[in-house]
A and B are shown apart, each in its own frame.
Chain A
């Protein structure tokens, strides 16, 4: 047992001791129900069922950003063996990070796309043009859709990538769009920065 868990166990044990007194105080038997009002409440309570059968939000299949002319199906992305995020195989197609949040659920859903190929612009070439208030629509597998409004667009050096701000689970439905930006390192064959669009769900 670690020191921390040991302290927790000690705390919980002490809590149990503290609560023993409360339990004793609460052990007096309540009087039986007498009123018709309570009887009706009891009957309603007997019919109570807790909500069950959670149905996961359908996966996203398409993204549309009218302001910059993006309309793309979505590939499913995971993590590469080196623990970096996978990127789409195709230049013209964006991809959804499927190990994270589904768009519209609580948390930040992440969609990535290339900014360019060796031949020219790719799907997220104009991503950095997005401004606060611009609308993004994500269509899901069941045909439903969810809209997001851009809060801000920012550029970060890849060494200072804000992992928590992009991937960390929160309970606010949000969307992050990621592509490359900044200067190009021709030796490494990669851009030195990422452009990230932060958006939150529109009503």
Chain B
């Protein structure tokens, strides 16, 4: 084959295919995994590590795992992987704690109701989101309280010491967020106030609670709270934990809301004053609706943090999801399956936190429109 020099008229050069090693799978591999010596060695090393660790982990988790069976004998087989029978046999306890079995429909109804109420919030064309949101924040907790705790409408009382598991985790974090939101808003407004005493009281409150670990707050509310009130005031253990969490969380909430207040241009405040609106009217009608919309992702993020932090209540003797798994681990009938318990708890927490954080990111992208400057 002879090589000829071809000449083309100006502008008539045909398009050639890109070199084969820059397209397709090979091109992708060269570009993303093997560009240069260092990267090649690094890629091979990482693949080697994955090859060593991932297949055994996968086998342990799924392939060799024992999925059912009422006692530990089913798991004492040669070569058996994870013993999910342990989780299976205690599942309802992990979800509801010591809640009476025949009354489980009550927390279930409360949960389903919440899910049903939340669905329209994700529908784009639904126009009453603010009203529904208000309903969920204000009315729903009351309904849920009467459903889960009982005490009227012919429902028997279930004492809070029977509550536990994932239900308690959700109750604690839900109450923590809902109750700390209004307090947080007031504190954030106080911190931006021009009245020196109001401002300094808010700053001291916020900085104090943000400066101490939640665990000391819980200790304090369980040890010191009974001392603070006149004798005869009896505090439920759960209520004490809730008060501690709300005080702690409202400080964080205040900082999130303050971020939103600062993001609103000064012109909005001035325009509201120019229209002759009073302080509360200008805040309630002009500034806060815009600011709160901006900080919804921030609120979701503090909710995630709180959701993870509720595990600390086990230290003051409440049985949230982690505590109840910890207790099940020390049960002599199922000794030696700690890892399974922790993996289960971790995956439950992970599913909740990961989906919420994805939601918060999506929301941020959606809401971050009018205020980009």
| A and B interact | no
A-to-B contact residues, CB < 8 Å: none
B-to-A contact residues, CB < 8 Å: none
